[in-house]
């Protein structure tokens, strides 16, 4: 008797795109009596997110534990200047212009 080969896909984690819950095959799902070691793909099609109740197709594969996830990196990227409102961007731009004008005025003032 030999153990069946472990599919690398089997240990991938899946993140609920609705609420951010992450299904980890290593942990299973206590709320639905899913034992640790069950791959996401083998969960029943009636399985729902234990936090928000989203269906399986609302989940995105974010790869195995400890591996950088492009999905997460993209989320982090969006937290920069791109999330500023147009009004906040204007304040930044005019604030920088005002500082530049003050800087040049102070240069003239020294001469």
**Interface region with Zn ion, contact rule CB under 5 A, candidates 3-11, 13-21, 68-76, 81-89:** 13-21
Query: In whole angstroms, what is the distance from residue 23 CA to residue 43 CA?
Result: 11
Instruction: Tell me how far, at minimum, the Cβ of 67 lies from Zn ion, in Å.
Output: 21
Question: Does residue 49 belong to the site contacting Zn ion (CB under 5 A)?
Answer: yes
Copy the structure tokens of residue 89.
Answer: 């961007």
Exposed/middle/buried for residue 99 (C-beta within 10 Å: 0-12, 13-18, 19+): exposed
* Beta carbons within 8 Å of 51's beta carbon, 6+ residues apart: 16, 19, 21
Looking at 10, 11, 18, 69, which residue binds Zn ion (CB under 5 A)?
Answer: 18
Looking at 51, 65, 96, 97, which residue binds Zn ion (CB under 5 A)?
Answer: 51
Looking at 41, 52, 97, 98, which residue binds Zn ion (CB under 5 A)?
Answer: 52
């Amino acid at each position: 008797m030999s153990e069946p080969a472990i599919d690398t896909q089997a240990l991938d984690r899946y993140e609920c795109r609705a609420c951010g819950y992450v299904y980890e095959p290593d942990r299973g799902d206590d709320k639905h009596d899913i034992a640790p070691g069950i791959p996401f793909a083998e969960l029943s099609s009636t399985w729902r997110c234990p936090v928000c109740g989203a269906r399986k197709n609302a989940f995105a594969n974010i790869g195995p534990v400890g591996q950088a996830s492009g999905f997460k990196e993209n989320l982090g990227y969006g937290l920069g200047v791109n999330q500023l409102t147009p009004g906040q961007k204007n304040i930044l731009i005019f604030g920088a212009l005002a500082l530049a004008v003050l800087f040049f005025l102070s240069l003239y003032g020294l001469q």
